[in-house]
Chains A and B, each alone.
Chain A
Amino acid sequence: MRDTFVDTTTDLLAEDPRTALVLADISADAFAPAARRHPDRVLNVGIREQLMIGVAGGLALTGLRPVVHSYAPFLVERAYEQIKLDLDHQGVGAVLVSVGASYDRAAAGRTHLCPADVSLIDTLHGWTVRVPGHPAEVPALLRTAVDGDGSAYLRLSTLRNDVPHGGDGALVVVRDAGPGTPLLVAVGPTLDAALAAVADLPVTVAYTNRPRPFDTAGLRALAGEAVILVEPYLAGTSTRVLSAALADRPHRLLALGVGREDLRRYGTADDHTRWHGLDPAGVRRSVVGFLRPAPVG
Chain B
Amino acid sequence: MTTTAATTATPPVDPLLERVRAGREFGPNVHSTLDVLQVLYDRILRITPTTVDDPDRDRFLLSKGHAVAGYWAVLAARGFIPADWLDDQGGPASRLGDHPDRLLVPGVEIGSGSLGHGLGLGVGTALGLRAQGLTDPRVYVLLGDAELDEGSNHEAIAYAGATGLASLTAIVVDNSSATHGWPGGIATRFTVNGWTAATVDGRDHDALHTALTGQDEHRPHVVVAVVESGE
Contacts and interface: CB of A to CB of B under 8 A. Distances in A.
Q: Do A and B come from one complex?
A: yes
Interface of A: 17, 20, 40-41, 43, 45-46, 48, 50-51, 53-64, 81-82, 85-86, 89-91
A180 B127 CA distance: 56
B151 to A, nearest CB: 7
A155 to B, nearest CB: 23
B53 to A, nearest CB: 11
A90 B118 CA distance: 11
Contacts of A56: 124
Nearest to B152: A50
Interface residues of B, number: 31
A43 B132 contact: no
B208 interface: no
A62 B128 contact: yes
Interface in B110-168: 110-111, 114, 116-117, 119-132, 134, 151-152, 155-156, 158-159
B148 to A, nearest CB: 14
Interface string B159-202: 10000000000000000000000000000000000000000000
A50 B124 contact: no
Given A55-B123, A85-B111, A45 B128 contact: no
Given A51-B120, A51-B156, A82-B120, A58 B127 contact: yes
Interface of B: 55, 101-103, 109-111, 114, 116-117, 119-132, 134, 151-152, 155-156, 158-159
Contact of A57 (B114, B121, B129): B121
Contacts of A90: 102, 110-111, 121
Contacts, number: 97
5 contacts: A20-B131, A51-B155, A58-B125, A59-B127, A62-B128
A46 B124 contact: no
A146 to B, nearest CB: 16
Contact of B131 (A51, A53, A64, A85): A64
B131 A55 contact: no
B121 A62 contact: no
Nearest to A84: B114
